[in-house]
Structure 1
């Protein structure tokens, strides 16, 4: 399944544009949940959330909707990633399982200054459990330093079935290699002069890429690191987020993509 959404749902410029005039703020997630098929929760990156918050979020969106979570910065913004175990455990025990079947992938985002140190990064990946509390977990790593464009990184993530976030239309290095049974894409190129954030041709292109990823292919116009190695993994879920760029236009771009991918 191809899921499309935006980052978060609380943003004042969306009120009166994406959100209907007069809609109470407490109903904004409910509204976004009817429009999109996924949302990336950003608040979990900055601090712990309460179990009752996860329960409320679960109840405010329809069946079939899936959240993704940005993992806490305390786990990834550190010199020695191998020492992140306690932070990872606290996060997993913070109530995320209250999302139940609406819990999607967890995005472990790294600072642009964080370099690839193979042994330490392999130790970090080993700390990410494939399941917690009887529920399967899906992990993705968002790597924003050029040093991660290394075949060794592809091998270690593929071995553990951990996705590498594909950055689109951004200054971050692009790593589109298939390493898991799902794809996680964040595109950041919306512009204020475009009513739908992107020109129609660019939206068509991203929709085509999403369909290729869902079919298990690596689109030829996305940049893979391990050139010459097999990329197809079979059908995959795709999580595609319109992030950053000209943020006021991101909901329009995401809706345009949803229309294209059905």
Structure 2
């Protein structure tokens, strides 16, 4: 079996402190996504978490980056921040139908992020997973679940995720549980401990360790690793350092 592709990225592309640190001085804001596309291999779209975007926006984002680059799309909070997840069907349909298919082969996984207060309820979560579509407008969808409450560190949750083909996001974070899911053909990590005093966010030995882990994961499928949160100003440097370590 051929190894999967390893893509390394950041969260979004509009962040003022990156101007002059990651982005060159004088780079036009409208050219920032293209710059990300030239120097990294993936990014998360955060705007979709807060509100519906236009189909034309997705099409324009896809045009701004080179072949091989992919966007992970953060699902709407209206899908995940609710008491009864089984009732999210209408919100899920609205989210998946807003135009994400315009990304085409530049569409990476859908990130379904749950609040730290959301506890695992096997029946309700199982019903939610059944609502996630396998495709939209002919474009295949892959789903990644980011759960943040320790109750999800449960074999029942891991089995539900595996059986639905959804990846469990591995979070490197001071407070959220680092849950390791089953092999479902791709993996998704969110690395959130970058430190501002470290030029590359993480020390070199830790960057090397993440690169080694990614190579192992790639034996089973595509790998997505995003440096986000923490000292966000260092995220692009961390991502670039990991890409160098992977060479």
Aligned partner of 1:220 in structure 2 is none
Aligned partner of 2:138 in structure 1 is 134
**Aligned partners of 2:204, 2:173: CA distance in 1, in Å?**
15
Aligned partner of 2:238 in structure 1 is 253
1:58 maps to 2:62: yes
State the TM-score, normalized to the length of structure 2: 0.97
- Measured after TM superposition, the shift of residue 212 of structure 1 is 1.3
8 Å CA contact 2:74, 2:111 repeated in 1? yes
- 3-state SS in 1 of match to 2:188: strand
8 Å CA contact 2:62, 2:102 repeated in 1? yes
How many residues align? The count is 243
1:49 maps to 2:53: yes
CA deviations 1:144-166 (Å, max 9, x no partner) are 00000000011111111100100
- Measured after TM superposition, the shift of residue 179 of structure 1 is 4.0
- Measured after TM superposition, the shift of residue 201 of structure 1 is 0.8
- 3-state SS in 1 of match to 2:213: helix
- 3-state SS in 2 of match to 1:13: helix
Question: Which 4+ residue blocks in structure 1 deviate beyond 2 angstroms?
Answer: none
- 3-state SS in 2 of match to 1:239: strand
1:166 maps to 2:170: yes
- Measured after TM superposition, the shift of residue 115 of structure 1 is 0.3
Aligned partner of 1:74 in structure 2 is 78
Q: What are the residue-to-residue correspondences of 1:69-218 with 2, within 5 Å?
A: 69-215=73-219
Q: What are the residue-to-residue correspondences of 1:27-38 with 2, within 5 Å?
A: 27-38=31-42
- 3-state SS in 1 of match to 2:108: strand
**Aligned partners of 1:179, 1:164: CA distance in 2, in Å?**
9
**Aligned partners of 1:160, 1:8: CA distance in 2, in Å?**
27
CA deviations 1:173-230 (Å, max 9, x no partner) are 0111224110000011111111111111111111111111112xxxxxxxxxxxxxxx
- Structure 2 unpaired stretches of 5+: none
Q: CA RMSD in A?
A: 0.8
- 3-state SS in 1 of match to 2:32: helix
State the TM-score, normalized to the length of structure 1: 0.91
1:11 maps to 2:15: yes
8 Å CA contact 2:162, 2:181 repeated in 1? no
